[in-house]
Amino acid sequence: MQIGELATRTDTSPRLLRYYEEQGLLHAGRDTNDYRIYDADTAVETVNKIRCLLSAGIPTRLIPLLLPGVNPEKSVFDTPIDPEIRTELEGYRQRLYDRQVRVSASLTAIDEYLDRTCTTAH
């Protein structure tokens, strides 16, 4: 699929997709006209994962560590992790966990409120 179709299917701008490619997060081949061609089976899923990680606050430089297959020439599990990167990832993980706990508590409170209130007809 070309960049326009990927942009439409992921609700992402072509400019942002090119940025992901520049950062090594997304890979595209080229057709005979030198247009970017993305693998339809994996590109949408990859972009959605990238966007999810970015929304969680993970910087683009750490995303390749969290996306298996982004760099197929390397196995991220065979490469020693830099202690600073480990610390940074552990910090992000803790912040995500803390956010999850707050969201879970909010959901519980909403469920309890909805269960305890009566429905009024308008």
Average pLDDT of the chain to the nearest whole number: 85
* Domain boundaries along the sequence of the chain: 1-73, 80-122
Residue 66: other Cβ atoms inside 10 A: 16
DSSP 58-92: --TTTHHHHSTTSSTTS-GGGSPPPHHHHHHHHHH
| CA–CA distance, 18 with 1 (Å, rounded to integer) | 14
pLDDT in tens, 4-23: 999 999 999 999 999 999 99
Task: Given CATH 3.40.50.2300, say whether it is the number of domain 1-73.
Answer: no
Enter the tokens of residue 21. 């490619």
Q: Model's pTM, two decimal places?
A: 0.62
